[in-house]
Structure 1
Amino acid sequence: MNQIFTVEGMTCGHCEKAVTKALLALDVQAKVVIDRAQNTVQVESEETRAALSKTIADAGYRVVA
């Protein structure tokens, strides 16, 4: 399932790596594409939207949509 999240607080490459690492810890087979300019995180995973959103938030970033 493909999910797109609008995420605030990602300002650098380290932020992208932190979010990607957190999501891959949840689902090692997830495909993660981050567009910092658009503040989006696209995740292809079998995990629920709620679980993915919580993982991003737990990494320290605010999911706004």
Structure 2
Amino acid sequence: MEFHVENMTCGGCARGVTRAIQSVDADAQVLTDPPKRSVKVETTATQQQVIKALTEAGFPPR
């Protein structure tokens, strides 16, 4: 799955996004691109779980 995270602007934000996703699936593969504000995720978690975790962490995806 792929998301656009408008307020992911730096490496620190990218780490926060990764931590949020891995809080619902510790084995998730997360590829972040802060300049493009994109996140690609390979996970066994549902899309809703990932969206909820990101939103709660302050990085609401589109």
Q: 1:6 aligns with which of 4, 7, 11?
A: 4
Structure 1 unaligned regions, length at least 5: none
What residue in structure 2 maps to residue 15 of structure 1? 13
Distance between the aligned counterparts of 1:17 and 1:36, measured in 2? 10
Structure 2 unaligned regions, length at least 5: none
Structure 1 stretches of 4+ with a deviation exceeding 4 A read none
Distance between the aligned counterparts of 1:6 and 1:24, measured in 2? 17
What residue in structure 1 maps to residue 33 of structure 2? 35
Q: Alignment length, in residue pairs?
A: 62
**1:18-55 deviation line (CA, Å, top 9, x unaligned):** 11111111101100000112111111001111111111
Normalising by structure 1, report the TM-score: 0.87
Residue 55 of structure 2 is aligned to residue 53 of structure 1 = no
Alignment identity in percent?
35
Normalising by structure 2, report the TM-score: 0.90
Calculate the aligned-residue CA RMSD, in Å: 0.9
Distance between the aligned counterparts of 1:62 and 1:47, measured in 2? 17
